[in-house]
Every structure is written in structure tokens, then in C-alpha cells.
Structure 1
Amino acid sequence: MTKTDLTEPATQDNPLLDIKFQIPFDQLKPEHAKPAIDTLLEQTRAALQQLSQAGEGDYAGFTDELDRLTRELDTARSVVSHMDSVMATDEWRAAEEAILPGVTEFYTSLGLDAGLWQALKAYAATPAAQELDPVRARFLKLTMDEFRRGGADLPDDQKARLQQLNTELAQTTNQFSKNVLDSIAAYELYVPAERLAGVPQRVQDATRADAEARGKEGHRLTLHAPTLQPLLVYADDRELRRELWQANTLVGQQPGRDNRPLIRRILQLRRERAELLGYRNFADLVLEDRMAGSGQAALNFERDLEAKTRPAWERENAELEAYYRSRAGADAPALEHWDIPYWAEKQRQEKYDFDEEELRPYFELSSVLSGLFEIVHRVYGITVKEAQAPGWHPDVRYYDIFAEGGEHIASFYTDWFPRDTKRGGAWMNAFVTGGPDIDAQGGQIFSPHLGLMCGNMTPPGKDTPALLSLREVETVFHEFGHLLHHALSRVEVRSLSGTNVAWDFVELPSQLMENWVWQREALDLFARHYQTGERIPDDLFRKMLAARNYRAANLAMRQYSFGLTDLSLHVEYDPGSEQDPVAYARETMQRFHDLPLPENYAMVAQFGHLFADPVGYGAGYYSYKWAEVLDADAFSRFEQEGIFNRDTGREFVDRLLGQGGSADPAVLYRNFMGRDPDPEALLRRSGLLP
């Protein structure tokens, strides 16, 4: 074996090849990645060949073997990808890039494997297949549908082209993601204290400490959300707000990190892939097995919401303009994009006498987590306890989840604070999918699940703990909703367990959890002042509720702009035309901005949801709003029956949350609610309908 950084360790000492449950992050190195993945690819190909050659006498347990086929490979692959997301050093990036071609080629070829496809079709025609239980029967049907969508019936030359497309898509989207991360990490601005007038003290302290840690004077400003957002909202220095807004706009556009050419290529590759498989466009390909069903149906959904929201949006914009003129004067400069958050916050503070920063002292991270765990204990009967396990960074914490009878059903890691080597946003991932299983003696057991929650929350200050904003608290609850979907799954088939559901259904459990943040009874379990221990005062809570739907139409239109830009690019835009997709996206987004967008506005160049993955949220960003409709409607049952009602919680787990993708999501929803969703529930909750 040639000795290189990526292939040095012997496979027998490779921690990626011996993942039982807890992941040995303390032993894991970038150079473990490629040897482990290569070994697992070889083992999985051997298992695939054996499965593909199964005759009728070997069909016992065929679906279970198929379900287990890529289990170890999936786990190791997810760990390497995770490390590239949270510790994006040059070495981990190189490790990710080294395994990407082989992994992409394998998963593409798996969906095209002629032997397995023939075995599937042969098995589906047997009496054994006709007698499968409903969950395994669904798994067989969905697998065969996936094979067809993956090109299994294509002639060999088109299969080869499909493989080329998938490999290039994986590499191009990976480059897109790297460029965004590099762009954000590369930006820093040092300013003196006087330029931070109006900015919350915690941000001033954090940025000063950041500068001191680097041996610099003043305050270090970055484009990480916990720094950028409060500066845009609170900084009195208009020129500073402009500089930061424009710097953020340029993410993904700088020389050497320019994503704009990649966008056209990604759209071209996706369109060609869809047409090769017999679909009109990429949206129709990926939405066929989702609740929306097609790109046009998703477009109609978003446009219907847009039309119903636009009158309130125009009214809100006129009100903000009038407020600005009344305070800044008739001769004041016209509002610009970097002025909107600043003046909107001033209007909100004056209108409701409410400043969200007043809530931070009541949202200390450890208290938020303790309260969250108490809420799910009351609603779902589970218990969460902190435990010990090796992590990838000192910030990482580890927890166990136990069912009512004390059964260990899941564990998870958390990693909440931003780093320059960590991608932005917040997310939940599954490392190990457990569920009902059979032990060596043939007895029924339950194998626990393993997952993680990551975020980029406000970190601790020099003299203060991590104090979260209201939105950050919602984010913690949101990601834990995803984690519960994974952790409470009781589905025997791994491929249909937990969050393995239709993409426009997957946000329902997460968004549903956010509702408890707005309930007084739930807040009192965790929202205590970190110094005095007092709960949120009644007048502050009333202001919080009153301000909840402030500029709700603008927030909704922002989301529509992302969803409709996504769908328009994947349904209506022709990537083979001369039209610039960045300009096309800007024109689409302009309808949702009251102010003209500058010529260099290219939000899509940093839109990782759409372009940092071969599929990801591509043609699927609408699913956030789709699931918001579901969650607003579903939570109405908790409101009617009690937000801590164990019977309601038990039904939600038994009929929906614990069922994963074992049944059609529309059926699961009806099983819980007793009817189809009310499409106007979200607009009512947002105050956009009477």
C-alpha cells in the first residue's frame, strides 16, 4: 500500500470499521476515512452480489437483507460527512473529497444494478412477496419505484451517462458548499467600540473577546449569524450596517470562491438527469414520491399562499415607511435593505414596548434544554439524561433517552456554538438507526437510535453563560423535534424509520415542537432569569405574544421568495438557454422585496439548501411552508386537549411520530387528526386571516 495521509492506517485499527453504538470520535482521524470507506464499499458490493443472485429458495428475509445492505457504509459515510461539517480542516476536507467519487459511484450504480433489479422483480412476483406485512410491502414497492426513478430500466449507454451526471453533481455541489464556508470564514472586520453604539452589550463583549483572542484591537465582526443579525438589527451606525449587509450579499461570489458558474452547471446536470429518466424537469422527478406530487402542484401551493399574504405585506411595508418618515424626517435618505431590520425593530419596540433582547436573560441554554426535556417527558413520557461519550470538540455534549419503562431507546450529541471550521445554520442528523430487532437467541429486543443536533447559537460571553434569543430557542426546539422523529421510531424496516419520510412531511415534527415555546405553562418550566431565577414577567410575556405576528407577512413572503425561486429554477427556467440563472433568480426574488435589489445581488450563490447537495432541498424548499400548514393545524389538537395531555402525546407518537415512513404521510396525518389538514390554519395562526 502506498503510504499517504489518506491511506496510512491499517484497516484493523480503523475506528470507522468498528462502530457499535457510541462513535469513537476521540480516536477518529481524517486518514481513517478513505481506507474504511474503501473496505466497506468492497464488503457492501460482495453482499450486493449475493443478494442479486438470490434464487427462489433464498428469498426468506430478502427484504430485511436488502434493508441492511448499506447499514455500515451509511454510518461511516455519515460520520465522515459530519466531521467535514463541524471540523472543516484542510485534512477533513481532503478526506471528504477523497471518498466522494467512490461513494457517489457506488450509490449511483446501486440504483442501476441489473442483478439486484432482476432479483427485486423476480421476488416481487413470488407468493412470499404477496404475503409481506404492510410495512415490508411498502418498503418493497418504494424500493422498486426508486429503482425506476434511478434509471434501472435505462439502456446501458444511458445508465453510464446517468452515473457521470451523478458523480459530477456530487463534486460540483460539494464545491459549492466549500465556497460558501470559505467565503464566510474569510471575512472579518475590526472596528472601534464607538461604531457599535446601539448593539447589545453581549455582542460587544463577544466581539471584543474575539479580537483579543487574535491579538487585535477593537471588535472583530464576522458574517456568522450570532454576530451579523444583531448588528443589522441594532447598530446605530448606518454605514456599518451597509458594509456588513453588502459583505454578506457577496458570499459565494468572490474570486476563487465564485459559485455563480456552478449554479448553471448544477441546474443543467439536474435537468439532464430528470429528462434522461423520463421527467419534464428535476422538480417532477424529486417530488413524485412526496406529498405535493409534482413541481406544478408545489408552485401552485406557494403562489396561493403568496396571493393571500400580499395585501398584508403591502400594508406592513407602507406602515414601516410611514413610521420611518415620522421618526427620521421627510428629508431623510430613502430606506435601503440594511435599514429595514433596524427600523422594523424600532417600530416593534415602540408599537409593543417590546425588545426581544429583554428575553435573553431568561433563555440560558442549559435551562432551555432542561425545560425542553421536561416538556417532552410530560407530553411523550420519555426521560432525557446527560451521559458521557467521546466528542469531536470540547463543546460537544451527549445524552441518553429512555422510554417510560426505563428502556434505553436513543442517544444523541449536541454541538451548539459557531466556529470558523463549522458550517452555518442548524441541523439534525442520524448516525445509527435502531428499532425493533432480534437478538442472538431469537428474542425480541430494541436497538437504540443515535443522532445529533448542531447549531450556531449565541455562545457564552466572558462573564455570562450562553443566553439565547427567542428565535434560537425555537431553533433548539425545532431540531429536537427532528431528533424525536428519529429517536421514537418503532419501525422494523430501517429504510422507513424515523425521518426517512416524504421530504415535505419531515418538517412537521420539528415545527410542531416550536409551538411549546409560545405557551406560558411550558415557558415557566425553563424560562428563568439566569441571575435571579425569576420567571418571565407577565407584562413581558404579553408583549412577546402581542409582537409574535409583527411583520408576519414579511417573514412569510421571505420564505415564499426562497421556495418560489427554488421551484422556478427547477421547473420554469431553462438551464440550456442563454439566460443567466443568477439574474433569473434575482428577478424572481424581486417580487418579494419592497426595495430594488442591486445588480450584484446573488443570494442563490450562498443558498446551500438548494445547491450544497446533489438533491438536498432542491425543488423542495416549499416543504417548510407545507409542513408549517401541517404543524399549525396539528397543534390545534394539543391546544384543545391540553399542551401536556399524555393521551394526545401518546396518540401522536403511536399514530404519527413513531411510524416514520411506514405508511403514506397523508394517512398518518389523518390517523392523528381524524381529517385532512386545514390549508388556512397557518395563515390564521400568523394573523394573516381573520
Structure 2
Amino acid sequence: MHPFLQNDFHIKWSTLTPSHIEADITKALNEAQAAVDAVAQQTAPLTYANTIAALDDGLETLNHAWGLVSHLDSVANSPELREAHNKMLPKVSEFFASIPLNEALWATLKAYGTQSETLSPTKRRYIQETLADFREAGADLPPEQKKRAGEIQSELAKLTQKYSENCLDATNAWEKIVTDKEQLSGLPESALDAARQSAEQKGKEGWRFTLQAPSYIPVMTYADSDALRKEVWQAYAAIGREGEHDNRELVRQILDLRHEFAQLVGQANFADHVTERRMAASGKAALSFGDEIFQKVRKQFEQEAEQLRQFKASLNSPLPNSDSPLLQPWEVGYWAEKQRKANYAFDEEALRPYFPIDRVISGMYQIAQQIFGLRIEERRTSNAQHRTSNKEEPTLDVQRSTFDVQCSTQGSAPEEPQTWHPEVKFYDLFDSETDEQLGSFYADWHPRESKRGGAWMNYLLTGNRDSSVGPRTPHLGLICGNLTPAVGDKPALLTHREVETIFHEFGHLLHHLCGEVEVKSLNGVNVPWDFVELPSQIMENWCWERESLDLFARHYETGEPIPEELFDKMLAARNYMKASANVRQLAFGKMDLELHIHWPESAKEDLDAFVENVLTGYSAEYKTKPKSNVFNFSHLFSSPTGYAAGYYSYKWAEVLDADAFTRFQQEGILNGETGRDFRSKILAKGNSEDPAQLYKDFMHRAPDPDALLRRDGLL
């Protein structure tokens, strides 16, 4: 009767309909509140089991159920689902915000925190982390300020959800139908075939283009028509800026509320609030980190911009010393691709036939098996597409799982797992030496209008690794993307950047599935945000090495590996415009930090003008000055915190990954001993120890701050 509250390891997605959300989440909220009250009223003797662990156990059902609702909102959005989600969102947000503000609960936890009990180092760390979490959320505030803190968190949840919906709806609201093929000159066949298929799926003639990445990027990179590129660029730049999907006032409100909350809990600004317990330790330090890299690459960045202008000018006017006028922003990708071809005779489209998605994924799994000691097996699924309306429909008759959170599959035939969409695949992951099932995961790689943009990883269940409370159980996670779909009879043929995306998200997933932390809340990706990208970004390195590429980069028709000549060109072009790529990421990180540090101190009159001012030097000059993406930047504004004041983490962790990969380069790209060391000292540890110490345990030294710039050819 309560499908969202079931603890089946194989989730019955077909039963998770919007009509159940209100009743199920209400029941979960009531049970969670009872658990909170029980801990708050706990009397001596206070123990880890009847305080910290009891609180976590009491919240687990609600966390899991709401996680399912939020996940479906991301991958199977519908009017009915959105309505049900948004009806319960304020109640769920208010409940979680109330936990650290509960005076009786806080008194109990503080009292326990002063007692001595023989515990493992991990559990002792978790006690301190829990107390710190409570203080950060306002546990020590007086009653009136606690009340305001709860109100802010509830309001932030609603505003950021609306921001996310506006981005999705604005993206889906725009399309461009082209009926004259001559307007599409320059576009590769892969883009034309996809656009033709998109039009057919909508019952339209011609070629259909959207603002989803697999459609948008080829137009901006290859279309000869300046008018077409301009139209598409303007449409993308308008997301979140106009009409019923306008995010401009929402961003102002979100920034104001974040700043107010930070000051309530004693921080100067939201960036200091967010970074205090991360590796950077303060907003100022995070800003300085980015600024130091920027100063090292600034000269080369300016040279790259000028060289691109000169390149276009030389083609349009072969006279020596001709002027190099400014480019339009919708020209940059197009002329950069032409310059790269001219400099390196390299066309990235030539790589597509070597990256059929199924072969890429199977090769990636082979690499994981070889270096991390894992085995991954695909399971046949029942393809139970999630029902996104409240209309009663028959559900699949699937026998009860014989391998859920409490059980194993020994002695019986495993059931076929359901998925939320027919394209979704399901895999089991094992330790290759012991044959223990460490976990399972879903993979959902292609765009749909009901699915938010981008690529991400998430976890659905964290298995038990505490022998004192029961047997080991498997983890459950997922990875999602919006990659090039299959066209006609051809498999989905990916760009190299899309291949990197798959490896990146798989790295996050391994962090969860390989976790061996006895405290669930410290497992896997529950680490400081500027450390969480290390396991994901280091995986991208295997997309550039000949030895690893040969395991999966094979022509979809012939099975041949990437020809040596093409591979050499790919490597030669790897660091093309690398200073510009670095500055682009640095600019995002700086904008994020400046908004959360200095915007509240400004006159707060014009957000665009503020961003333009703080990013002086971080962008090339253009004829038409582009505005920031602040109103279409889901990383920063689609959740109460998310990557807010933490976008610098990508570059921070990129330094770590560039440095850590040098050990593989020295000891062997596919060296199993090195890989198992990374698994045991990084992936398995989660947040059980200080991340700086974990890094030193693997590298036997502190990070080399120049490793990234050396890899990028900038030093």
C-alpha cells in the first residue's frame, strides 16, 4: 500500500506513481518525527546506538522515499509528478531543517558527545561530524533565530526547485525546424541524422534542433550558417531570462536567503559557511586558489583569443597584417573547430565511429575489472517504464525480490530488475577475487524531454558495512547523462567528450559502490565537496591512453582500433585552447564565489553588471557582449546548496586527479596493484578520514599544485 516506503533492493518502479507520493511521504515524515522525538527524550545511559545511530536509522526510510521522488522528478518529470512533488517539498524541507533546530534533540546529542565510549575511529569521527553539522545548521542559535533558520531552508527548497523547473521547461519550449538542407551545410552526418530523427519523432518534416546538448553543440561547432548559429545561441542564452521561465528574481532571492542564513549561524558570508569544513577552509582561500591558476595561464589565454581572431581574419582577408576584428560569441566554437582542424588536421567527428556507446561502456567495465579488481555483469530487466500519470494502469507481475537489502540470491533464480524507462540498464558489481556482490546500479544515458539536462550520479541505497549491526549488504546507485542517442540502425556513436563524461560519472559511482565505511552517512561520495571530484575526474585519464583506448575504442562496423595517425592527431590537439578551457572553468568558479561573498555587499542593482565586473579579464572580448549563465546554472541554484560556493571544487580536484594519475603513469596505466591501492585508500574510505590524509596515503606525499598545468601543456 506504500510503494515508496518499500525496502526492496530491486525497486518496483512501476508502482511508484504520483498518486502514492502524498500518503507515503506523509507516513514517512510521521515515523521520522517519532524517531527524532525518541532520541530527543532518551535518558541515561546515552550510547552511540540510542543516539547517533538511532537518529540515522529513524531517518533512513524518509531519506530513501524522498530520494526516489526526487530522482523521478529528474528523469520522468510530468505535470502529475511535479504537482505531487511540489506539494510535499515544503513539508519535507521544513522537517529536515527542524532536526538541528530541535532543542531537546540537540541537548541529548551534545550530552552524548561529552561522554566517553569505546568506539572505532570512524564512529568517533562521525560523532564530531554530526555535532558540527548541527552547529552549522543553527543548533546553538536562540529560539527566534532558530525559527528563522528553518524558514529560510524551507523557502530555499521551494525557490531552487522552481529555478530547476524553469530551466527544464525553457529548454523544452524551444525548437528550430529547418526544411532547407542548404541551411545546414557544415553539419556532420551524425548531427543531420539525429535532427531528422528528432523531427520524425515529433511528426514534422525536415530537421529539428533543440537546446539539449547533443543537438545544440554540433550546431555551434559546425554549422556554416552564421544566422543559424546566432539564433540557436540567442535561444540558449535566453534560458531563465524571460517569460514564464524567468529565473532572474529567483536568483536574487536565493542569494539573499543564503547570505542571511550564513550570517545567522555566525559566518561572514555563504562561501565561508560552505567551505569551513572543506579542504579550502574559507571562501577567500577558494578565491585565491582560482586566482593563482588564472594568473599563471592568463597570458596564454589572451594569446589564444587573439590567435583565433587572427585565424578568422586571415581566411577572410589573406593580406598580411590585416586587422583581426572581434568575433561574435556564436562564432567562437565554429572558428575554433576550423582552427583546430587547420593546426592539427584533426576532426573530432572522425572519432565517433570508434565510440559506439555499448563498446565504450563494456570497455570501461573491463578497465575497472583489471585495475580495481571488480566484475560487472549486466542484468536483463523487465523494462517496466515508470508511470508518470495518476491514471490507474496494471503493473508488471514480478515475483518478490530474493535479493533485497536483507537477503542474498543464494539458492534461487534472481528476479529481473525493473527500470524507470526502457532505455535504462541495470548492472551488478562484484569483487573479482571474492565474488562478493558489492552493489548494483542503473545507467540512463540519453536525453528525454521529461529528464533534466546534464550528467550526474546518485545513490539509492547504502549497504551495511558495520558487522556489529548485521551482515554486509550491497550498495545501490545510478548514473545518468544526456548523450548522443542512436539514429536509425546505427548504434549511439559518441564524441570523445561524451566518452569522458561516461568515465567521469562512473568514477563517482565507484566511489559509492566500493565504499567500505561502517557508518553509512560517511560512505562514498559523502566527502568534502572539493574532494568528491577526484574519483570521477581521474577516470577521464583512461580516455586518453593508447593502452586503455584499445580496450574499447573500436570502429562500430569493422572492430578496428583508432588508427595510429588519427590517435596521434587526437593527442596533438588535446591541449588546443587549453588555457581558454581552464579560464572558462575558473570563471564559473569565481562567479560562484563572488556571488556568495561580495554580491551581498554590493549595491545589488544589476546582477549581470556585477558578474561582468568581477570577471573582468576572464573572458575574451566580443562584438556582442554575452551575459552570464547565472540564470541557467543548475549546479548553483537548483538546490538549497548543491555546488553553490563550491564550483571551484572541479578545478581543485582536477589538480588532485592530474597529480594522482602520475602514479599510474609511472607504475602502469592498467596496473592492478596501483588500482587496488586507489580503491582501498580512496574509493573505499569515503569520509572516514580527513581527505588530505587519504590523498597522502595514496601518493605518499602532498599534492603537486602544478600537476594540472603541466598536463595541460601550460607550464
Q: Same fold (TM over 0.5)?
A: yes
Cα distance in structure 1, aligned partners of 2:128 and 2:8:
30
Cα distance in structure 1, aligned partners of 2:368 and 2:623:
44
SS in 2 for 1:338: helix
Q: Is 1:430 aligned with 2:430?
A: no
Tell me how many residue pairs correspond in the alignment. Answer: 672
With a CA cutoff of 8 Å and minimum separation of 6, indicate the structure with the bigger relative contact order: 2
Cα distance in structure 2, aligned partners of 1:210 and 1:331:
42
Structure-2 residue corresponding to 1:406: 435
Structure-2 residue corresponding to 1:644: 670
Structure-2 residue corresponding to 1:47: 35
Q: Is 1:338 aligned with 2:330?
A: yes
Cα deviation per residue 1:293-315 (whole Å; 9 max; x = unaligned)?
00000000000011001011011
Report which stretch shifted further, 477-486 or 80-89. 80-89
Structure-1 residue corresponding to 2:401: none
SS in 2 for 1:264: helix
The 5 A counterparts of 1:508-547 are 508-547=534-573
Equivalent pair of 1:25/1:391 in contact (CA under 8 Å): yes
User: Which amino acid in 1 is paired with 2:607?
Assistant: P
Cα distance in structure 2, aligned partners of 1:380 and 1:185:
40
> Under a length normalisation based on structure 1, what TM-score does the superposition of the two structures give?
0.95
Out of 625, 629, 632, which is 2:651 matched to? Answer: 625
Q: Is 1:593 aligned with 2:580?
A: no
Q: Residues 443, 153 of structure 1: CA spacing in aligned structure 2 closer, same or farther, 3 A cutoff? A: closer
Structure-2 residue corresponding to 1:362: 354
Q: Residues 534, 19 of structure 1: CA spacing in aligned structure 2 closer, same or farther, 3 A cutoff? A: same
Out of 320, 323, 339, which is 2:311 matched to? Answer: 323
Structure-2 residue corresponding to 1:377: 369
Cα distance in structure 1, aligned partners of 2:135 and 2:683:
29
Q: Give, in angstroms, the shift of residue 419 of structure 1.
A: 0.8
> Under a length normalisation based on structure 2, what TM-score does the superposition of the two structures give?
0.92
Cα distance in structure 2, aligned partners of 1:577 and 1:277:
23
Cα distance in structure 2, aligned partners of 1:576 and 1:333:
34
Q: Residues 255, 60 of structure 1: CA spacing in aligned structure 2 closer, same or farther, 3 A cutoff? A: closer
Out of 127, 130, 141, which is 1:154 matched to? Answer: 141
Report which stretch shifted further, 48-57 or 280-289. 48-57
Cα distance in structure 2, aligned partners of 1:143 and 1:463:
53
Equivalent pair of 1:561/1:588 in contact (CA under 8 Å): no
Cα distance in structure 2, aligned partners of 1:564 and 1:123:
41
Q: Residues 205, 67 of structure 1: CA spacing in aligned structure 2 closer, same or farther, 3 A cutoff? A: same
Cα deviation per residue 1:113-169 (whole Å; 9 max; x = unaligned)?
1122111111112222xx321100110001101111111111111111111111111
Cα distance in structure 1, aligned partners of 2:285 and 2:358:
42
Structure 2, unmatched stretches of 5+, are: 382-416
Cα deviation per residue 1:2-52 (whole Å; 9 max; x = unaligned)?
xxxxxxxxxxx1211112211111211012112111111111111111112
Cα distance in structure 2, aligned partners of 1:483 and 1:123:
34
SS in 2 for 1:26: helix
Cα deviation per residue 1:57-86 (whole Å; 9 max; x = unaligned)?
352523322332311111111110011111
Q: Give, in angstroms, the shift of residue 206 of structure 1.
A: 1.2
SS in 2 for 1:679: coil
SS in 2 for 1:175: helix
Structure-2 residue corresponding to 1:308: 296
Cα distance in structure 2, aligned partners of 1:163 and 1:122:
23
User: Which amino acid in 1 is paired with 2:457?
Assistant: M
User: Which amino acid in 2 is paired with 1:403?
Assistant: D
Structure-2 residue corresponding to 1:137: 124
Q: Give, in angstroms, the shift of residue 462 of structure 1.
A: 1.3
Q: Residues 332, 287 of structure 1: CA spacing in aligned structure 2 closer, same or farther, 3 A cutoff? A: closer
Cα distance in structure 1, aligned partners of 2:604 and 2:240:
22
Cα deviation per residue 1:195-219 (whole Å; 9 max; x = unaligned)?
1111011111111121122222211
Cα distance in structure 2, aligned partners of 1:433 and 1:687:
40
Cα distance in structure 1, aligned partners of 2:49 and 2:72:
35
User: Which amino acid in 1 is paired with 2:423?
Assistant: D
Equivalent pair of 1:582/1:602 in contact (CA under 8 Å): yes
Cα distance in structure 2, aligned partners of 1:506 and 1:296:
20
The 5 A counterparts of 1:46-125 are 46-59=34-47, 61-62=49-50, 63-125=52-114
Q: Give, in angstroms, the shift of residue 578 of structure 1.
A: 3.7
Cα distance in structure 2, aligned partners of 1:583 and 1:407:
56
Equivalent pair of 1:264/1:575 in contact (CA under 8 Å): no
User: Which amino acid in 1 is paired with 2:197?
Assistant: A
Cα distance in structure 1, aligned partners of 2:316 and 2:259:
49
Q: Give, in angstroms, the shift of residue 576 of structure 1.
A: 7.1
Structure-2 residue corresponding to 1:238: 226
User: Which amino acid in 2 is paired with 1:116?
Assistant: L
Q: Give, in angstroms, the shift of residue 359 of structure 1.
A: 0.4
Q: Residues 636, 478 of structure 1: CA spacing in aligned structure 2 closer, same or farther, 3 A cutoff? A: same
Q: Residues 528, 578 of structure 1: CA spacing in aligned structure 2 closer, same or farther, 3 A cutoff? A: closer
Equivalent pair of 2:4/2:16 in contact (CA under 8 Å): yes
Q: Is 1:185 aligned with 2:172?
A: yes
Cα distance in structure 1, aligned partners of 2:71 and 2:293:
35
Cα deviation per residue 1:587-646 (whole Å; 9 max; x = unaligned)?
334532212485672410101111111001100000000000000000000110111111
Report which stretch shifted further, 476-485 or 457-466. 457-466
User: Which amino acid in 1 is paired with 2:471?
Assistant: I
Q: Is 1:169 aligned with 2:198?
A: no
SS in 1 for 2:530: coil
Equivalent pair of 1:437/1:447 in contact (CA under 8 Å): no
Out of 188, 200, 203, which is 1:200 matched to? Answer: 188
SS in 2 for 1:431: strand
Q: Residues 332, 300 of structure 1: CA spacing in aligned structure 2 closer, same or farther, 3 A cutoff? A: closer
Cα distance in structure 2, aligned partners of 1:337 and 1:144:
48
Cα distance in structure 2, aligned partners of 1:502 and 1:240:
43
Cα distance in structure 2, aligned partners of 1:87 and 1:60:
39
Q: Is 1:679 aligned with 2:700?
A: no
Equivalent pair of 2:524/2:687 in contact (CA under 8 Å): yes
Structure-2 residue corresponding to 1:394: 422
Identity of aligned residues (%): 48
Structure-2 residue corresponding to 1:9: none
Q: Give, in angstroms, the shift of residue 463 of structure 1.
A: 2.8
Cα distance in structure 1, aligned partners of 2:591 and 2:667:
39
Out of 264, 271, 279, which is 1:283 matched to? Answer: 271
Cα distance in structure 2, aligned partners of 1:504 and 1:70:
26
Q: Is 1:297 aligned with 2:285?
A: yes
Structure-2 residue corresponding to 1:616: 642
Q: Residues 596, 373 of structure 1: CA spacing in aligned structure 2 closer, same or farther, 3 A cutoff? A: same
Structure-2 residue corresponding to 1:6: none
Structure-2 residue corresponding to 1:248: 236
Structure-2 residue corresponding to 1:660: 686
Equivalent pair of 1:268/1:575 in contact (CA under 8 Å): no
Cα distance in structure 1, aligned partners of 2:628 and 2:308:
25
User: Which amino acid in 2 is paired with 1:359?
Assistant: L
Equivalent pair of 1:231/1:241 in contact (CA under 8 Å): yes
Structure 1, unmatched stretches of 5+, are: 1-12
Equivalent pair of 2:68/2:460 in contact (CA under 8 Å): yes
